[in-house]
Structure 1
Amino acid sequence: MKNRNGILALAILAAAACGKQGEAERAAPAAPPSSGAAAKGLEDHSGELRRDVVAVTDSIAVAIGFGLGNSILVQGETCAFIIDTTESREIAQAISAEFDQLTDLPIEAIIYTHNHADHVFGADVFASGRDIDIYAHETTAGEVNKAVNIIRPILSRRSARMFGTYLDAGDNGFINAGLGPGLGVTGPNGGSIGYLPPTITYSDRLETEICGRKVILQHAPGETDDHTYVYLPDENVLMPGDNIYKAFPNLYTIRGTSYRDVVKWARSLDAMRALGAEHLVPSHTRPVSGRETISDLLTAYADGIRFVHDQTVRGMNMGMDPGALVEFVQLPPHLKNHPYLQEYYGTVRWSVRAIYDGYLGWFNGDGAALNPPTRRARAAAMAKVARDQTTLADAAAEALAADKLALAAELATLAIDADEDANRARALKADALAAMGYQSISPNGRNYLLTQAHELRGNLTIKEIPDERSIAFTRAVPIANFMASLPVNLNAEDALDVERKVEFRFTDTGEVFTVEIRRGVAIVTPAPADEPDLVVETTSLVWIDLLLGQRRAGVAIATGAIKFPGGLGDAAAFGDFMKLFRVT
Structure 2
Amino acid sequence: MFKPLNFYFISLALLLLIGCDSAPINQTDDITRTTKRKHQLVYQQLDINDQEDFNQATKGLIAPLENAFIKSDDGAVIWDTAAYDFIGGKAPHSVNPSLWRQETLNNISGLFEVTKGIYQLRGFDFANMTIIESDNGWIIVDPLTSTETSAAALAFARKHLKSRPIKAIIFTHAHIDHFGGVLGVVTEAEIAQQKITIIAPSGFMEAATSENILAGVAMARRSGFMYGKDLERSAEGHVGSGLGTGPAYGTFTIVQPNDTINETGETRNIDGVEFVFQNAPESESPAELTFYLPQKKAFGGAELVSRNMHNLYTLRGAHVRDALRWSNYINEALLMFGDAEVYFGSHHWPIWQKNKIHEFLEQQRDLYKFTHDQTVRMINQGLNGEEIAEKITLPDSLSKKFYNRGYYGTLSHNAKAVYQFYMGWYDANPANLNPLPTQDSACDYVELIGGHDQIVSKSQAFFDDGNYRFSAELLNKAIFCDEDNQAAINLLAKTYQQLGFQSEAGSWRNAYLSGAKELLDGPTQQQIKLSKMKGLLSNTSVNKFFDTLAIRLDAEKAHELELHIGIHFSDLNEHYLLVVKNGVLRQESQPNLDTLNANVSLTHELFINMLIGQLSAKELLLSDVLEIEGSKLDLLTFLNLFDKPTADFNIVTP
* In 2, Cα distance between equivalents of 1:19 and 1:237: 41
Distance verdict in 2 for CA 1:23–1:135, change over 3 Å? closer
Residue 166 in structure 1 maps to residue 233 in structure 2: no
- Tell me the equivalent position of 1:40: 97
Distance verdict in 2 for CA 1:117–1:335, change over 3 Å? same
Residue 254 in structure 1 maps to residue 311 in structure 2: no
Verify the 8 A CA contact 1:75 1:211 in the aligned structure 2: no
Residue 106 in structure 1 maps to residue 165 in structure 2: yes
Write out per-residue CA displacement over residues 344-392 of structure 1, whole angstroms, 9 at most, x where no aligned residue: 1110000011000000111111111111123233212211211189xxx
SS in 2 for 1:169: coil
- Tell me the equivalent position of 2:115: 57
* In 2, Cα distance between equivalents of 1:237 and 1:217: 12
* In 2, Cα distance between equivalents of 1:70 and 1:23: 28
The letter for the 1-side match of 2:342 is H
* In 1, Cα distance between equivalents of 2:185 and 2:211: 23
* In 1, Cα distance between equivalents of 2:173 and 2:18: 30
**Deviation, structure 1 residue 97:** 1.2
Q: Equivalent of 1:321, from 371, 376, 384?
A: 384
What does residue range 557-568 of structure 1 map to in structure 2 within 5 Å? none
Query: Using CA pairs below 8 Å that are at least 6 residues apart, which structure has the higher relative contact order?
Result: 2
* In 2, Cα distance between equivalents of 1:31 and 1:120: 43
Verify the 8 A CA contact 1:147 1:155 in the aligned structure 2: no
Write out per-residue CA displacement over residues 24-46 of structure 1, whole angstroms, 9 at most, x where no aligned residue: 7x534446344453433322212
* In 2, Cα distance between equivalents of 1:272 and 1:373: 47
* In 2, Cα distance between equivalents of 1:31 and 1:164: 21
The letter for the 2-side match of 1:215 is F
Distance verdict in 2 for CA 1:161–1:17, change over 3 Å? farther
Q: Equivalent of 1:279, from 342, 347, 353?
A: 342
Deviates more, 1:150-159 or 1:287-296: 150-159
SS in 2 for 1:127: coil
Verify the 8 A CA contact 1:141 1:198 in the aligned structure 2: no
Distance verdict in 2 for CA 1:181–1:334, change over 3 Å? same
Verify the 8 A CA contact 2:144 2:178 in the aligned structure 1: yes
The letter for the 2-side match of 1:362 is W
- Tell me the equivalent position of 2:4: 8
Q: Equivalent of 1:91, from 120, 139, 149?
A: 149
Write out per-residue CA displacement over residues 156-190 of structure 1, whole angstroms, 9 at most, x where no aligned residue: 11112111111101121100121112211xxxxx1
* In 2, Cα distance between equivalents of 1:137 and 1:213: 18
Verify the 8 A CA contact 2:16 2:247 in the aligned structure 1: no
What does residue range 411-560 of structure 1 map to in structure 2 within 5 Å? none
SS in 1 for 2:26: coil
- Tell me the equivalent position of 1:150: 214
- Tell me the equivalent position of 1:264: 325
Write out per-residue CA displacement over residues 409-453 of structure 1, whole angstroms, 9 at most, x where no aligned residue: xxxxxxxxxxxxxxxxxxxxxxxxxxxxxxxxxxxxxxxxxxxxx
Distance verdict in 2 for CA 1:287–1:352, change over 3 Å? same
SS in 1 for 2:96: helix
Q: Equivalent of 1:343, from 406, 413, 435?
A: 406
**Deviation, structure 1 residue 143:** 2.2
Identity, % of aligned positions? 26
Distance verdict in 2 for CA 1:333–1:8, change over 3 Å? same
**Deviation, structure 1 residue 126:** 1.9
Verify the 8 A CA contact 2:211 2:319 in the aligned structure 1: no
Q: Equivalent of 2:273, from 200, 213, 218?
A: 213
The letter for the 1-side match of 2:381 is M
**Deviation, structure 1 residue 9:** 5.5
- Tell me the equivalent position of 1:308: 371
* In 1, Cα distance between equivalents of 2:314 and 2:26: 27
Verify the 8 A CA contact 1:137 1:219 in the aligned structure 2: yes
Distance verdict in 2 for CA 1:9–1:55, change over 3 Å? closer
TM-score, structure 1 normalization: 0.62
The letter for the 1-side match of 2:209 is N
Write out per-residue CA displacement over residues 104-142 of structure 1, whole angstroms, 9 at most, x where no aligned residue: 221121111101111110111222441122111121112
Verify the 8 A CA contact 2:23 2:230 in the aligned structure 1: no
* In 1, Cα distance between equivalents of 2:247 and 2:30: 23
Verify the 8 A CA contact 1:31 1:171 in the aligned structure 2: no
**Deviation, structure 1 residue 225:** 2.4
Cα RMSD, aligned residues only: 2.3
**Deviation, structure 1 residue 236:** 1.3
* In 2, Cα distance between equivalents of 1:155 and 1:181: 19
Q: Equivalent of 1:141, from 205, 217, 240?
A: 205
Residue 368 in structure 1 maps to residue 431 in structure 2: yes
SS in 2 for 1:150: coil
Verify the 8 A CA contact 1:68 1:118 in the aligned structure 2: yes
Q: Equivalent of 1:67, from 118, 122, 125?
A: 125
Verify the 8 A CA contact 2:130 2:142 in the aligned structure 1: yes
- Tell me the equivalent position of 2:466: none
Verify the 8 A CA contact 1:315 1:328 in the aligned structure 2: no
**Deviation, structure 1 residue 195:** 2.0
Write out per-residue CA displacement over residues 502-526 of structure 1, whole angstroms, 9 at most, x where no aligned residue: xxxxxxxxxxxxxxxxxxxxxxxxx
SS in 2 for 1:214: strand
* In 2, Cα distance between equivalents of 1:374 and 1:148: 25
Residue 332 in structure 1 maps to residue 331 in structure 2: no
* In 1, Cα distance between equivalents of 2:173 and 2:443: 46
**Deviation, structure 1 residue 241:** 0.7
Deviates more, 1:345-354 or 1:203-212: 203-212
* In 2, Cα distance between equivalents of 1:27 and 1:297: 41
* In 2, Cα distance between equivalents of 1:361 and 1:283: 31
Counting matched residue pairs gives: 379
- Tell me the equivalent position of 1:485: none
* In 2, Cα distance between equivalents of 1:15 and 1:339: 29
Distance verdict in 2 for CA 1:133–1:306, change over 3 Å? same
Residue 223 in structure 1 maps to residue 250 in structure 2: no
- Tell me the equivalent position of 1:430: none
Distance verdict in 2 for CA 1:146–1:228, change over 3 Å? same
The letter for the 2-side match of 1:67 is D
SS in 2 for 1:238: strand
**Deviation, structure 1 residue 23:** 4.5
SS in 2 for 1:56: strand
Distance verdict in 2 for CA 1:97–1:148, change over 3 Å? farther
Deviates more, 1:199-208 or 1:165-174: 199-208
* In 2, Cα distance between equivalents of 1:56 and 1:278: 11
- Tell me the equivalent position of 1:240: 301
- Tell me the equivalent position of 1:76: 134
Distance verdict in 2 for CA 1:27–1:294, change over 3 Å? same
**Deviation, structure 1 residue 197:** 2.3
Write out per-residue CA displacement over residues 521-573 of structure 1, whole angstroms, 9 at most, x where no aligned residue: xxxxxxxxxxxxxxxxxxxxxxxxxxxxxxxxxxxxxxxxxxxxxxxxxxxxx
Verify the 8 A CA contact 2:23 2:231 in the aligned structure 1: no
* In 2, Cα distance between equivalents of 1:20 and 1:112: 30
Verify the 8 A CA contact 1:31 1:172 in the aligned structure 2: no
- Tell me the equivalent position of 2:175: 116
* In 2, Cα distance between equivalents of 1:211 and 1:362: 50
* In 2, Cα distance between equivalents of 1:344 and 1:31: 24
Write out per-residue CA displacement over residues 36-57 of structure 1, whole angstroms, 9 at most, x where no aligned residue: 5343332221232121222112
Distance verdict in 2 for CA 1:233–1:41, change over 3 Å? same
Verify the 8 A CA contact 1:248 1:343 in the aligned structure 2: yes
- Tell me the equivalent position of 1:299: 362
SS in 1 for 2:200: strand
* In 2, Cα distance between equivalents of 1:85 and 1:255: 23
